[in-house]
Amino acid sequence: MLKQRIITALILLPIALAGFFLLEGGAFALFIAVVVVLGAWEWARLAGFEAQPLRVAYAALVAVLLYLVYAAPALAPWLLAIGVLWWAFATFLVLNYPDSSRYWGGLPGRLAIGLLILLPAWQGLVVIKQWQLANWLILAVMALVWVADIGAYFSGKRFGKRKLAPQVSPGKSWEGLVGGLLLSLLLTIVVGVVRDWSFTQFLQALPAAALVVLISVVGDLTESMFKRQSGIKDSSNLLPGHGGVLDRIDSLTAAVPVFALLLWLAGWGTL
């Protein structure tokens, strides 16, 4: 398994880095769309579609919706706002699972939830890519999520006692959450010192970074919640040793739209 993970990572990492940081405009949007459509194919299974034609049809629907959204950039702020509202509601669902499953709306509701997860994440990256220091901003949101994951793993392993969401992901603890959050805030402080931020910029950046990290945890737990309900360990086996695409991007699907909307509210770019 470890060998598979390493080989897969060595193949995918340069492709991902090239796609994220070298592509621009429509090529970048298409690159992210491919990832999102693969995620949609996986989500269809979590929603309850077992037959391949139905899963492919759902992925095709997502592809069409992405094209329509790309052709109507005026929808960007609305889609990001809808995404943020969804993740606020998802927090409630995660914290109250399994009782909250009655709010999912059955198969149609679960399919709609897939759209709420995937479309705003795609929109957030496409919007950020158009702004000043776009590549650094994309790297920043990824770094916040990755560093939080690392901090949560080690602090949870060392100090974890109180379960964060035992019905959803028994391995996660409140101590791990705090450790990951603190490490991500430390990273934010280091970046601020290097970039010579003002006191006001620190006051804006630190709560924003904390919110992005916390909502990224909700993204991770949300996929875990649906996998647990479906009795599925991995979203797919597309990535040998790593599971599926959704297993790799679940935290980012939540973090990206929140990150983009916060930057917009701070006056970083236009929507």
pLDDT of residue 244: 86
Cα angle: 28, vertex 34, 38; to 5 degrees = 150
Give the residue from 266, 257, 262 showing the smallest Cα distance to 116. Answer: 257
- What residue spans of the chain are helical by DSSP H? 2-22, 25-47, 52-70, 76-95, 106-128, 134-159, 174-194, 199-230, 245-265
pLDDT of residue 263: 94
Identify the domain containing residue 109 by its residue range.
1-270
Lowest mean pLDDT among 3-7, 56-60, 84-88: 3-7
Q: Work out the percent of the chain whose per-residue pLDDT is above 70.
A: 97
> Are the C-beta atoms of residues 73 and 67 closer than 8 Å to each other?
no
pLDDT tens per residue, range 138-181: 999 999 999 999 999 999 999 988 999 999 998 899 999 999 99
At 233, is the pLDDT very low, low, confident or very high (cuts 50, 70, 90)?
Answer: confident
Number of domains making up the chain: 1
pLDDT tens per residue, range 187-229: 999 999 999 999 999 999 999 999 999 999 999 999 999 999 9
pLDDT of residue 122: 97
Q: How far apart are CA 251 and CA 59, in angstroms?
A: 20
Strand spans (E) along the chain: 163-165, 169-173
pLDDT tens per residue, range 49-79: 999 999 999 999 999 999 999 999 999 999 9
CA contacts within 13 A on the Cβ side of 58 = 27
CA contacts within 13 A on the Cβ side of 130 = 15
Q: What is the pTM of this model?
A: 0.93
- Burial zone of 33 (CB within 10 Å; 0-12 exposed, 13-18 middle, 19+ buried): buried
pLDDT of residue 241: 64
**CA 201 from centre of chain:** 25
Q: Which residue has the tokens 């992005």?
A: 212
